[in-house]
Structure 1
């Protein structure tokens, strides 16, 4: 039987041949000697007591790379779980924000695509509980690995778990886990949208009151670097997965009102090789604006040397572009590993 091959929304030439990969690796061997990796993403002590006992209030905790522990409408959600100590022979730059043995039981795991830095089988096995939501074409591989609670979705498909609707949305990327399965499963991001019933149960604020809260926290933030914006008690969260810049960000923003966007900013250099699959920090900000999301949380940097950019370079370019766009600095939430952002402020 012929294996189905998935493709992107827009025609784009991916730079993912073995010849191009070899060229990049040769360039990289020279370039990395001159890179400064002295800056590492800081780790803070995770508030495990809060995470284990919180059954209602929304929170976002960055574990590292594209792995977030999200609490929403009483659900414990993990995105792209990767606790691996190394990736492609490169040791992890900073430890995970929550040790995997301390992660509370998981209700839903969201997988954006099958690349090894987003789907780590060992990590997935260690998580307790878990309904696994994956892109189309990937469920059979996981079932062969012994996972039985797996549901696959095509772009724009949705499934409801608890009080949250999970919608699989497009990204611009590709997949491969071995030389024979290129693009045999899809790739994308996830919208986590609380249902109206969950919103009323949580006492969710209106858009007007949310803006009031953001204005208040912005004022407080001028006197306290530790201040984090208050959103509401049932925010819509967008996890972008991996993506090059494409028109789909605007379409996602047209379909959904997004409170929090978790967006990649790393693994973009060299741009001739990474451009079709990974946004630059500047493109990440444009994608954020395209979606119309209220708040931006950068991810996909600081854990592994997947490309030639460093964590400091990614953050510096992000900040430079924010200044150029004259964007309110309170819209970008740069989390350390392990910090729990209590989104409702309680």
Structure 2
């Protein structure tokens, strides 16, 4: 089990169980934030990012067990709850350059309005993605209702997060911010403003800072490209210091504490709560609802908005279970109910700013 240290130039072997020591008074100081890198910089990356994995990928025995048990989808009774999934599309809120607002289009796709920009996260407006049944809730924000898109951030290359048909709808000069190694995919599709970042690196667009941060996950899009590009989340910060953390796809682990220390004062954490059963198969790469609440606390986030549930049926838990469990975990942790933004697909919320 390997992970990269906060300096991206070296790797060390560390287990999550060792992490509490980093929270002691003797913990090393948090490194300063990196200077923003030039937009569109052409860079050469390693051939593989296997050394960034925080858990080994499933081997043949695990895959044989998964095939034998067949626990890929919820039972018929659980699927009967699909009509009860929260879906309340509404108009996007009006914002100004000092207002932060988020609208959930479904799954990991958000319309983030920050610093006067409109930024899409992992945009998937398609009805169907490869290898998965069609979406069980419609897209919550109509494409023609979007304001001009100023930028796109991508967490990793899995099909439910990187959707070619959706991205084809964008002008090719739209700025895209992507993990290291994913630039060629966009260049083949004639995008012209591509910024690739490594963990803990940043770029800046019109006064909004975009930091790429680690996640407990992996990447793969074909039979031959496993871990050839990086994976991670994004911290978006405006001129007033308002911060939104988009986790992408991730399991629970030590990175949340490190991200929270390095980016204090996260106003809103967009955290995944679905696609977690069977646990023995998915725990390394997908948080369950209780772990997502712990992650929000590790981050020191003021608010949490759940995502990555109620859109595509990717695993075996009942379709409504992530919502009921995250609400129960939030209450059990004694957290303010108003700070759990459990939005319906299509829902929006506006941050009260730091004015």
- Bin the TM-score by the shorter chain: 0.7 to 0.9
CA distance in 2, matches of 1:324, 1:268: 20
Matches within 5 A, 1:309-324: 309-324=317-332
Give 2:110's aligned residue: 68
Segments of 4+ in structure 1 off by > 6 A?
none
CA distance in 2, matches of 1:22, 1:148: 44
Partner residue of 1:93 out of 115, 136, 153:
136
String of CA shifts for 1:181-233, please: whole Å, max 9, x gaps. 00000000000012xxx32xxxxxxxxxxxxxxxxxxxxxxxxxxxxxxxxxx
Give 1:35's aligned residue: 78
- Structure 1 residue runs without a partner (length 5+): 200-233
Give 1:251's aligned residue: 258
Partner residue of 1:184 out of 210, 219, 228:
228
Give 1:143's aligned residue: 187
Matches within 5 A, 1:206-217: none
Matches within 5 A, 1:163-202: 163-194=207-238, 198-199=239-240
CA distance in 2, matches of 1:26, 1:249: 32
- Structure 2 residue runs without a partner (length 5+): 1-43
Matches within 5 A, 1:249-328: 249-257=256-264, 258-328=266-336
CA distance in 2, matches of 1:185, 1:76: 26
Between the two proteins, the alignment pairs up a number of residues equal to: 307
Contact 2:271–2:292 under 8 Å retained in 1: yes
CA distance in 2, matches of 1:291, 1:42: 27
Counterpart secondary structure, 1:23: helix
How far the C-alpha of 1:10 sits from its partner, in A, is 6.4
Contact 1:103–1:127 under 8 Å retained in 2: no
Give 2:168's aligned residue: 125
Counterpart secondary structure, 1:106: coil
Counterpart secondary structure, 2:325: helix
How far the C-alpha of 1:84 sits from its partner, in A, is 1.4
String of CA shifts for 1:256-311, please: whole Å, max 9, x gaps. 12110000000000011111100111111111110001000000000000111233
* Greater shift in the superposed pair: 157-166 or 124-133: 124-133
Counterpart secondary structure, 1:191: strand
* Greater shift in the superposed pair: 302-311 or 111-120: 302-311
String of CA shifts for 1:62-99, please: whole Å, max 9, x gaps. 11000000111101100000011123240111011111
CA distance in 2, matches of 1:2, 1:147: 19
Counterpart secondary structure, 1:101: helix
CA distance in 2, matches of 1:97, 1:168: 26
Contact 1:15–1:274 under 8 Å retained in 2: no
CA distance in 1, matches of 2:60, 2:150: 37
How far the C-alpha of 1:27 sits from its partner, in A, is 1.5
How far the C-alpha of 1:24 sits from its partner, in A, is 4.5
CA distance in 2, matches of 1:325, 1:69: 29
- Quick check: 1:84 aligned with 2:91? no
- Which structure's residues are more often helix, by fraction? 1
CA distance in 1, matches of 2:73, 2:202: 45
Contact 1:136–1:185 under 8 Å retained in 2: yes
* Change beyond 3 A, Cα 1:30–1:102: closer
CA distance in 2, matches of 1:284, 1:2: 31
CA distance in 2, matches of 1:16, 1:302: 29
| TM-score in terms of structure 2 length | 0.80
| TM-score in terms of structure 1 length | 0.82
How far the C-alpha of 1:323 sits from its partner, in A, is 2.6
* Change beyond 3 A, Cα 1:107–1:165: same
CA distance in 1, matches of 2:231, 2:151: 18
Contact 1:60–1:340 under 8 Å retained in 2: yes
Contact 1:265–1:314 under 8 Å retained in 2: yes
